[in-house]
Chains A and B, each alone.
Chain A
Amino acid sequence: MNQQINFTLSLADTTLILAQRNSEWCAHGPILEQDIAITNISLDLLGQARNFYQHAAHLIGSPATEDSLAYLRTEREFKNLLITELPNGDWAQTILRQFFFSVYQSLLYTQLLQSKDEQLAAIAEKSLKEITYHIKWSSDWVIRLGDGTAESQQRMYKAIEYLWMYTGEFFIPADYETTDLSAMEREWSLKVKDVFEEAGLIMPEKIFMQQGGKTGNHTEHLGFILAEMQSLQRTYPGAQW
């Protein structure tokens, strides 16, 4: 039971924090159309997060609610992947993170379709349609910038260098995870390699991989995200729209 709750919370936290990060682009996008695109993705992720939190709250039982789980837990209790809490950086960094994450997410959720937890399987099924578009959108951008100008390519390499060490965590299982992550890792690398090849980008060598997010050991960035996201509920407990 505890395992199931923690796993559900990790899915919820990961999607919530990435939604929060992507939402920072709202009104700051490089062009109006892309501003709307990244905000749409942010809202898709937030919708997924809500589904997972509601399910987790149901598993935990009263008085837990989706809001208490999102707004009243501390940094060490959050189980999101480190890559989701990293700063947006420039557009290249944002779209590359989204690409890495969406490919992983689609592989993970495809496995979730077989989950014994029917609610998780249902959320995964609903989310996969959204994720398919996120992959298309973000891989188009990886190809566009990788195969673009000297500057756009250089920015892609900077983003790869920054983000790559956070991609290993996708496949390092936490004790509450039962899915087969090693098979997923191979598929993930193949998909990323395909897109990188089309983008004219070279895959990095095997390097040291960061981990810890799944078990609550975060980078210095998460605290600031939570401070901003939770300040209202913590200042005015129970505040409603």
Chain B
Amino acid sequence: MNITTRKFYYGDIPEESAGGATSAIVKSNETAWPLWEVFIRSKQGLDHKHAGSLHAADAAMAIENARDVYTRRQEGVSLWVVESKYIHASNPDDAESFYEPAADKVYRHPSFYVLPDEIKHM
């Protein structure tokens, strides 16, 4: 991982033309531990839900760290961890074409059926 981030303090002043005091190129620490995403199942039968992320050197340490950081207040009975780099996300720029077309298609909701009286909890 060799990511270079630029910090601009006063609006969008480019580094090279800013005064010395604001110059700050933060290089990510090459020896830093990778990032992991943590998923917790709060009780048997429920799904694992995303709880947050943390740093760890490997999967075993990630599980222990997740136990210490995210289950101190009895939040769960099972943990999953996955290295963040293996998660692929949809692009926010695609939001219009991805999600908006569903907005006017109410018939996709199963709300046009007559339910028999015997069926409860629907």
Contacts and interface: CB of A to CB of B under 8 A. Distances in A.
14 contacts: A31-B55, A32-B54, A33-B55, A33-B65, A33-B68, A34-B65, A36-B65, A36-B68, A36-B72, A37-B64, A37-B68, A40-B72, A137-B64, A140-B60
B25 interface: no
Interface of A: 31-34, 36-37, 40, 133, 136-137, 140, 144
Contact of A37 (B55, B57, B65): B65
A34 B62 CA distance: 11
B68 A40 contact: yes
Contacts of A33: 54-56, 65, 68-69
Contacts of B54: 32-33
A140 B64 CA distance: 10
Contacts, number: 29
Contact of B61 (A36, A133, A140): A140
Q: What's the dominant secondary structure at chain A's contact region? A: helix
Contact of B69 (A36, A133, A137, A144): A36
Given A36-B65, A136-B64, A140-B61, 17 more contacts: A31-B55, A32-B54, A32-B55, A32-B69, A33-B54, A33-B68, A34-B65, A36-B72, A37-B64, A37-B65, A37-B68, A40-B68, A40-B72, A133-B67, A140-B60, A140-B64, A144-B57
Contacts of B60: 140
Contact of B33 (A31, A36, A37, A140): A31
A175 B50 CA distance: 54
Contacts of A36: 65, 68-69, 72
B73 to A, nearest CB: 11
Contacts of B67: 133
A225 B65 CA distance: 29
Interface in B33-79: 33, 54-57, 60-61, 64-65, 67-69, 72
Best-surrounded residue of B60, B64, B67, B72 (most CB of chain A within 10 A): B64
Contacts of B55: 31-33
A37 B55 CA distance: 13
Contacts of B64: 37, 136-137, 140
B104 to A, nearest CB: 46
A51 B68 CA distance: 22
B86 to A, nearest CB: 19
Enumerate the 9 nearest inter-chain pairs by beta-carbon distance, A residue then B residue, closest first. Answer: A33-B65, A37-B68, A36-B68, A33-B54, A36-B69, A40-B68, A33-B69, A137-B64, A33-B55
A33 B65 CA distance: 6
Contacts of A34: 65
A144 B64 CA distance: 14
A32 B70 CA distance: 13
A76 to B, nearest CB: 36
B2 to A, nearest CB: 20
B55 to A, nearest CB: 6
Nearest to B36: A33
